[in-house]
Amino acid sequence: MMEAEKRREIEIEVYTDTHVITGRLATKEARLSDTLNYELPHLLVLSEATSRSLERPEESPTQAGFIHIDTMAIAFTSPRSPEPALEERQQTRAFEYVEKERHEAVVKVPPFRFEGHLHLPKGNDVERSLWDLTPAFVPLSDASVTIKDEPEVAWHKDVVILNRRKAQIMLLNQGIDDSEQ
């Protein structure tokens, strides 16, 4: 008899361009980005979910037993529960881990703007590394998040998982003024 895969529940926030949804996600993966890229590439199902409008924050949030979210609608997501330590993750997918270095980056996924750190393979050409990134969902650490029409509305997240398919601009932050882009 086959043993069922061990799953864990993580609490996450999912941002679309119009809503923020919070809830619990059942996964077998160690990291949220791995869940989005490999386990559930098309549809997330959050249980014990709450959805609220970003456009009309004065409206009461909607509570639901579960909410389905098409991953193409996701601008970014962020874990609300701690992720396993690197050593534990390396044991699960040892062949996928390479030594990486941090690069400051600016990324725009309308209506959001992010500043933070991309982690790219150490010693590789940075432009080539950005070009070669294959996952649709990419982590950005130590991230500052702002909303385009409300720059005074800003917050900080230890990590956000960006939907590269929706990113309009991804550049290294080397003193470039991207305010008009």
Pick the more confident residue, 143 or 5.
143
Mean per-residue pLDDT, 70-96: 71
Q: What is the mean pLDDT of residues 122-132?
A: 78
Q: How would CATH label the architecture of 96-172?
A: Roll (2.30)
Average pLDDT, the chain: 83
CATH 2.30.30.100 domain range(s) in the chain: 8-79, 96-172
Q: Note the pLDDT of residue 134.
A: 73
Query: pLDDT tens digit string along 25-70?
Result: 999 888 898 889 888 778 999 999 999 998 888 999 999 999 999 9
Question: What predicted TM-score, i.e. pTM, was given to this entire model?
Answer: 0.83
Say what the pLDDT of residue 77 is.
Answer: 96
pLDDT at 156: 93
Three-state SS at 73: helix
Classify strands 76-79 and 100-109 as parallel, antiparallel or unpaired. Answer: unpaired
Distances (CA, A) of 152 to 76, 147, 148, 176: 19, 8, 9, 21
| CATH for the 8-79 domain, from 3.40.50.11540, 2.30.30.100, 3.20.20.80, 2.40.30.160 | 2.30.30.100
Query: What does the pLDDT read at residue 120?
Result: 82
% of the chain surpassing 70 pLDDT: 83
Q: Which residues contact 168 (CB under 8 A, 6 or more apart)?
A: 108, 109, 110
